[in-house]
A and B are shown apart, each in its own frame.
Chain A
Amino acid sequence: MSTDVLICGAGRTPFGRSEATGRQLAVGAVNAALADAGIEWSRVRAAFGGSDSAGLADTLVAQLGLTGLPFVNVKNGCATGGSALVCAVNAIRSGMADVVLAVGFDKHPRGAFDPRPEDWGLGSEYGSDGLMVTTQFFGMKIQRYMHDHGITPRTLALVAEKAYRNGALTPEAWRRTPLSAEEILDSGMVSDPLTRYMFCSPGAGAAALVLCSPEAARTMDGPPVTLRSAAVRTRRFGSFEVFSPWIPGGEPTSVSRDASAAAFEEAGIGPGDVDICQLQDTESGAEVMHMAECGFCQDGEQERLVASGGTGIGGTLPVNTDGGCIANGEPIGASGLRQVYEVVQQLRGRAGERQVPGEPRVGFTHVYGAPGVSACTVLSR
């Protein structure tokens, strides 16, 4: 068994719109994580981090302190935070460093992301004819899933309703006004079957973690949480991804399935052992499908589970207790570490109004994004 890696500090900023730059938000999250661990920046021996579009993480040393530590930039789309975490874990297990920082941050302009067909190896006609729109992919993936597995639009609305309900209990969330399923269904169709309030919005925010070897953790404040595993995977042949002019026939493969299975195998436990999870919810349909792709239910079971409140705080499997991406927005580089931050708070029993009852012991996080990348973690106290 390789060395345990412990999370001794976790910090985040409020998510949403901000006057601050992405880098300023990152400094805020790092300082919060250091304070949580009760250490100074000079105690950190290595750092990994990044953003998708808000600058280079290694430049943060100008504000944090020029201590000479190795600081590696990570740029891995929606898996940026997860990849930084994997690097931090390996730095500790290899003996490179005993106290390591992982940081993710971002700040995106208002509105949908703005991809260019040539960056994706596609002909310009895919842009000029209007097929370079991310929401189309999300609509088409859940449309097929609903057809195959009997999921109804009301379930999609209930997922978003829960997100806003949990967001209202999370001081740092962006969307903190509860909305009813009816309001969500009536909010205007964006990409059938998904309506406006079923989607997250690109936004700004940052999250950071202090990771330690067991020896270093003993010298720090606060109850540590064990990072049992962290796994990143890219898509295999047969997956259905955004901006695909074609996809192969047959049952689609899933990078989320692959990454979650790898994380559970490394942790030596299964989805049935998990008390609380954070799943990528770019929109309501993604949360529904990721519940099955990550092994928490069979395809189609979500219809009953969601309707019965099973995924709410106090349910059999609380999902996205901080409101997820739908209520926090999506600063790409920060989302993965925000999820870990939330699980750390829940496992420490410090999640305030949104605390899951019954002293949860095991948590799971999952991010997914273009062009077919997923990062998962398993945590326990």
Chain B
Amino acid sequence: MATDPRSPAAGLQGSRCSGCSVAVYPADDACPRCGGPARPAALQGTGTLWTWTVQRYAPKSPPYRAPAGGFVPFALGYVELAEGVRVAAVLDVDDFEDLRIGMPLTVTAGAGVPRARPTTPGEEGS
């Protein structure tokens, strides 16, 4: 596939089946529902938290690479985008106590897995 699925400039680059409209992330060239061809599609970055958990202990290394300052617990979850697809993301929140199913989140793609942070007022629908 020509598009780098994690190019920051491109937003969240998924794909959509031309036959059954199923959107997926990361992009795939076949639809997992019908097996038909799928085309690259930019996914909207805003959505709501569908479910979440907190990784309380350091995952096994390898494959895990702890950040420079060492492991700190992090939240992760699935963000339901407008397209209907739920995307796994690390959740950048100040306090785990703030995590609520349904809270508005904005997902961005960078060098690693998608990351999501609480949507700030005025950002909705962007």
Q: Which residues of B contact A247 (CB under 8 A)?
A: 78, 85-86
Do A127 and B85 touch across chains, with their CB atoms under 8 A apart?
A: no
Do A249 and B80 touch across chains, with their CB atoms under 8 A apart?
A: yes
Decide: A136 near B63, CB < 8 A? Known: A143-B53, A246-B24.
no
A147 vs B50: C-alpha distance when bound (angstroms): 10
Do B52 and A140 touch across chains, with their CB atoms under 8 A apart?
A: yes
Do A143 and B84 touch across chains, with their CB atoms under 8 A apart?
A: no
A269 within 8 A of B: no
Do A245 and B26 touch across chains, with their CB atoms under 8 A apart?
A: yes
Contact with A along B110-126 (1 / 0, CB 8 A): 01110000000000000
Do A124 and B53 touch across chains, with their CB atoms under 8 A apart?
A: no
Do A248 and B22 touch across chains, with their CB atoms under 8 A apart?
A: yes
A254 vs B4: C-alpha distance when bound (angstroms): 32
Q: Which residue of A lies closest to B88 (CB)?
A: A245
Decide: A129 near B88, CB < 8 A? Known: A123-B26, A144-B51, A249-B80.
no
Do A248 and B63 touch across chains, with their CB atoms under 8 A apart?
A: no
Interface of B is mostly: loop
Within 8 A of A (CB), among B14-62: 14, 22, 24-26, 32-33, 50-60, 62
B10 within 8 A of A: no
Decide: A128 near B88, CB < 8 A? Known: A143-B53, A248-B22.
no
Q: Which residues of B contact A111 (CB under 8 A)?
A: 60
Q: Which residue of B lies closest to A189 (CB)?
A: B56
Q: Which residues of B contact A139 (CB under 8 A)?
A: 53-54
B90 within 8 A of A: yes
A244 within 8 A of B: yes
Q: Which residues of A contact B22 (CB under 8 A)?
A: 248
A306 vs B24: C-alpha distance when bound (angstroms): 38
Q: Which residues of A contact B80 (CB under 8 A)?
A: 249
A347 vs B111: C-alpha distance when bound (angstroms): 56
Q: Which residues of A contact B87 (CB under 8 A)?
A: 245-246
Contact with A along B52-92 (1 / 0, CB 8 A): 11111111101111000000001011101001111110100
A116 within 8 A of B: yes
Of A124, A129, A193, the most chain B CB neighbours within 10 A belong to A129
B93 within 8 A of A: no
Do A124 and B63 touch across chains, with their CB atoms under 8 A apart?
A: yes
Do A249 and B86 touch across chains, with their CB atoms under 8 A apart?
A: yes
A125 within 8 A of B: yes
Q: Which residues of A contact B24 (CB under 8 A)?
A: 246
A132 vs B88: C-alpha distance when bound (angstroms): 12
Q: Which residues of B contact A133 (CB under 8 A)?
A: 55, 59
A130 vs B91: C-alpha distance when bound (angstroms): 12
Q: Which residues of B contact A141 (CB under 8 A)?
A: 51
| Nearest CB of B to A189, in Å | 5
Within 8 A of B (CB), among A188-229: 188-193
Q: Which residues of A contact B88 (CB under 8 A)?
A: 131, 244-246
Do B64 and A128 touch across chains, with their CB atoms under 8 A apart?
A: yes
Do B113 and A136 touch across chains, with their CB atoms under 8 A apart?
A: no
Do A246 and B86 touch across chains, with their CB atoms under 8 A apart?
A: yes
Do B26 and A191 touch across chains, with their CB atoms under 8 A apart?
A: no
Do A248 and B113 touch across chains, with their CB atoms under 8 A apart?
A: no
Measured CB to CB, the residues of A under 8 A from B are 111-112, 114, 116-117, 123-133, 136, 139-141, 143-144, 147, 188-193, 237, 244-250
User: 8 smallest A-B Cβ distances: which pairs?
Assistant: A127-B63, A249-B84, A139-B53, A144-B51, A130-B59, A125-B112, A128-B65, A129-B112
Measured CB to CB, the residues of B under 8 A from A are 6, 14, 22, 24-26, 32-33, 50-60, 62-65, 74, 76-78, 80, 83-88, 90, 96, 101, 111-113
List 27 A-B residue pairs with CB atoms under 8 Å apart, sorted by A's residue number.
Answer: A114-B60, A123-B26, A125-B111, A125-B112, A126-B113, A127-B64, A128-B63, A128-B65, A129-B64, A130-B55, A130-B58, A130-B59, A130-B74, A132-B63, A136-B55, A140-B53, A140-B77, A144-B101, A189-B54, A192-B52, A192-B56, A193-B53, A244-B88, A247-B86, A248-B86, A249-B80, A249-B86
